A = this chain, B = another copy of it.
Amino acid sequence: MRTVTKDTITQAFLGYMAPDTDPRLREVLTSLARHLHAFVKETNLTHAEWEKGIEMLEWAGEISDTERHEMILLSDLLGISSLVDMVNMVPGGTSSSVLGPFHISGAPEIPIGFDMKRHFPGEVLLATGVIKNAAGTPIEGARIDIWQTAPNGLYSSQDPEQDTYSFHGIQTTGADGRYAFTTVKPVSYEVPTDGPGGALLDATGRHAWRPSHLHFIVKANGYRTLVSEIFADDDPYLDEDAVFGVREDLVMQYAEHPAGTFPAEGFELSGKVDGPWLKAEFDLVLTPG
């Protein structure tokens, strides 16, 4: 390839791949190389700009660890993560949405009805719903991994004041398919702005806010794993989520309940609530897979 030029380099790259390369890997790399090469040619990317890009990626690497995932944040802010969700959506189920960079493995098992808010102040929310299939049949043994920020807008991994698994927990449904927990009403928060993600937002005059939400991953035998979020219907950032995660069907409707009415439910809830509280009933529909 002594004579490789800007017109032949993509072909040269493709030609380097061995004949027995996995066909799907070849397909993905072919598309990736074509698009990255076209990007460089279309913009006549300068060395200084290339260096800036490398510097951003190296910075993202430096700032990342087992709890902070800046590469995911960059993917989120560029709309890539949401687009991956969209191209993989299966009709008939609850929409998926971004995993985000703050999921941590190994959250504790918590019983149905658990009080996730514990001693934290904030508006009390009872979040509950049925995990079911598209025909409406409840799914027994579904595992829902839930996480959210504390009332200060920080995930446990960002906040030295919180335990590792504060506002993280996994419930396993019974025959009625129901999950249920009390928590504090999620708050909108800014994604971390002290890394290259923040630099990107700053350079393009974008804000860092995400509308308030609860994250969850639902796994059940015989069904596609659902990674998604549910959003609060009264959030000012619903229409301008920094990471493009909102879908119409993921917006919870809050029902307000006056003081002295908690729990008003047929099942057990471990939290005690004296004041007013909110309830969101939100079913999650899984598709086969």
Interface residues of chain A, those whose CB is within 8 Å of chain B, are 1-6, 9-10, 12-13, 16-22, 25-29, 31-33, 35-47, 49-50, 54, 57-58, 60-62, 64, 69, 71-72, 75, 78-88, 203-206, 227, 238-241, 244, 246-248, 251
Given A205-B18, A248-B3, the answer on whether A79 and B33 have CB atoms closer than 8 Å is yes
Contact of A61 among B29, B37, B62, B75 (CB under 8 A): B62
Q: With a CB–CB cut-off of 8 A, which chain B residues contact A247?
A: 2, 4
Contact B58 A69 (CB under 8 A): yes
Q: With a CB–CB cut-off of 8 A, which chain B residues contact A248?
A: 2-3
Given A244-B1, A248-B2, the answer on whether A80 and B35 have CB atoms closer than 8 Å is no
| 3 A-B pairs with least C-beta separation | A61-B61, A18-B205, A35-B35
Contact A31 B42 (CB under 8 A): yes
Q: With a CB–CB cut-off of 8 A, which chain B residues contact A246?
A: 1-2, 4
Nearest Cβ distance between residue A69 and chain B, in whole angstroms? 7
Contact of A37 among B46, B47, B80 (CB under 8 A): B80
Nearest Cβ distance between residue A289 and chain B, in whole angstroms? 12
Contact B31 A43 (CB under 8 A): yes
Contact of A87 among B27, B40, B227 (CB under 8 A): B40
Contact A79 B17 (CB under 8 A): no
Q: With a CB–CB cut-off of 8 A, which chain B residues contact A85?
A: 47
